[in-house]
């Protein structure tokens, strides 16, 4: 008796799921950006969602839910209905690092369904023009000579810019004084104004200010130069060998979202990323497109788990204090 009842339920769910998927989307979708408007994650979300609406036939509305290095915005999606109408955009910080730092009240793997891997970008070491250093070696020497810890802007403990800072401290022995913001957009504004000393930011966020000459760049944290910023050396070339960090991003939906709906959102994102106009925009920002064979929902799930295994030990060892 119990067996037939369960089978009936599963059939209903499967039927319900596919009926749901058939009509998906029938109204606008929300993409939750867990950082400030105008920042790198927000910029990626807006370019992507603008093109995804073509395939989905419904607009994607951007909602910026900031705070706690993006963990509040991700929580908003975890608690949303598993119907595909609420999408989480995030990255190494929000969907890996935060799990090693915060008591999130949700599980980054068990409570979210991976949808698709998005572009990534190497971090870039930048400072205010007030610092009299012209190379990475000079910057490190200048920072080491400082009587007080230099101030570094981040998007909060656990954010990409903070994890990069922890990694920089470990690689150089320099102690940084972190200044948290609700995103790297406002942090960059203060760097340009000379309110903070440096950032290890996403290239896509800082590159325009570097080109405008309002801040100084020292290196990108990769073993190859960024095509659209080929005048900036790699950390290997600039004397900090092996200091590599690339911030990858992705899309997730609440756990329990029907597979066919996940597949529809995935297909729209893949189509958007393969659009030459979108690719050009992303590459001009210094972003690197994900490999074509890594665009399945399963690929993001496997990558996220691998990154958790890689980064959590370093992050936990850093014993990051959050209020």
In the complex, least distance from residue 92 CB atom to ligand MLT, rounded to whole angstroms: 8
Smaller CB separation from ligand MLT, 25 or 158: 158
Report CA torsion sign: 139, 145, 151, 157. positive
Closer residue to ligand MLT in complex, CB, 90/114: 90
Site size toward ligand MLT (CB under 6 A) is 14
> How many residues are there in the chain?
323
**Per-residue x/- marks for ligand MLT, 149-188, CB under 6 A?**
------x---xxx---------------------xxx---
The Cα–Cα gap between 265 and 225 comes to: 32
Residue 232 binds ligand MLT (CB under 6 A): no
Within positions 58 to 97, which residues make up the interface with ligand MLT, using CB under 6 A?
Answer: 93
Pairing between β-strand 246-254 and β-strand 86-91 as defined by DSSP bridges: antiparallel
Q: How far is the CB of 232 from ligand MLT (least distance, A)?
A: 19
User: Is 214 within 8 Å of 129 (Cβ atoms)?
Assistant: yes
60 or 155: CB nearest ligand MLT: 155
Closest CA to 60 of 42, 87, 80, 36: 87
**Integer angstrom CA distances of residue 131 from 19, 137, 140, 174, 279:** 60, 13, 11, 16, 35
Residue 174: count other Cβ atoms within 10 Å of its Cβ: 18
User: Beta 29-33 vs 60-64: how paired, if at all?
Assistant: parallel
Instruction: Tell which one of 24, 29, 41, 221 touches ligand MLT (CB under 6 A).
Output: 41
Please, what is the minimum distance in Å from the beta carbon of residue 155 to ligand MLT? 3
Distance in Å, CB of 154 to ligand MLT, minimum: 6
Helix axes 259-273, 276-284, angle to 10 degrees: 70
Q: Measure Cα distances from 129 to 23, 215, 219 in Å.
A: 54, 5, 15
Take residue 139 and report the two structure tokens written for it: 């910057």
> Considering only 40-48, 74-82, 208-216, 307-315, which stretch makes contact with ligand MLT by CB under 6 A?
40-48
Closest distance of CB 44 from ligand MLT, Å: 8
Binding pattern for the stretch 93-132 against ligand MLT, x by CB under 6 A and - elsewhere = x---------------------------------------
Pick the closer one to ligand MLT by CB: 58 or 189. 189
Enumerate binding residues for ligand MLT (CB under 6 A). 35-36, 39-42, 93, 155, 159-161, 183-185
């Amino acid at each position: 008796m119990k067996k037939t009842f369960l089978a009936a339920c599963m059939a209903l769910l499967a039927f319900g799921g596919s009926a749901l998927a058939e009509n998906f989307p029938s109204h606008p979708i929300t993409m939750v950006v867990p950082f400030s408007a105008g920042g790198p994650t927000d910029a990626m979300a807006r370019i992507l969602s603008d093109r995804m609406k073509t395939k989905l036939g419904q607009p994607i509305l951007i909602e910026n839910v900031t705070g706690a290095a993006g963990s509040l915005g991700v929580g908003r999606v975890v608690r949303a209905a598993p119907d595909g109408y609420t999408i989480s955009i995030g990255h190494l910080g929000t969907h890996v690092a935060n799990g090693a730092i915060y008591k999130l009240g949700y599980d980054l793997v068990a409570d979210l369904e991976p949808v698709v891997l998005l572009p990534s970008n190497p971090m870039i070491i930048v400072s205010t023009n007030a610092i009299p250093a012209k190379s990475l070696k000079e910057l490190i020497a200048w920072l080491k000579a400082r009587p007080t810890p230099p101030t570094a802007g981040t998007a909060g403990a656990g954010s990409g810019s903070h994890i990069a800072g922890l990694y920089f401290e470990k690689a150089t022995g320099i102690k940084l004084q972190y200044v948290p913001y609700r995103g790297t957009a406002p942090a960059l504004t203060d760097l340009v104004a000379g309110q903070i000393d440096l950032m290890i930011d996403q290239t896509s966020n800082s590159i325009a200010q570097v080109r405008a000459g309002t801040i100084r760049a020292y290196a990108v944290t990769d073993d190859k130069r960024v095509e659209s910023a080929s005048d900036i050396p790699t950390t290997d070339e600039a004397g900090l060998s092996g200091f590599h960090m690339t911030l990858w991003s992705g899309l997730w939906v609440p756990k329990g979202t029907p597979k066919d709906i996940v597949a529809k959102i995935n297909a729209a994102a893949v189509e958007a990323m393969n659009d030459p106009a979108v690719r050009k925009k992303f590459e001009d920002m210094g972003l690197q497109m994900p490999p074509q064979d890594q665009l399945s929902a399963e690929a993001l799930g496997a990558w996220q788990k691998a990154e958790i295994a890689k980064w959590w030990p370093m992050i936990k060892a850093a014993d990051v204090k959050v209020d």
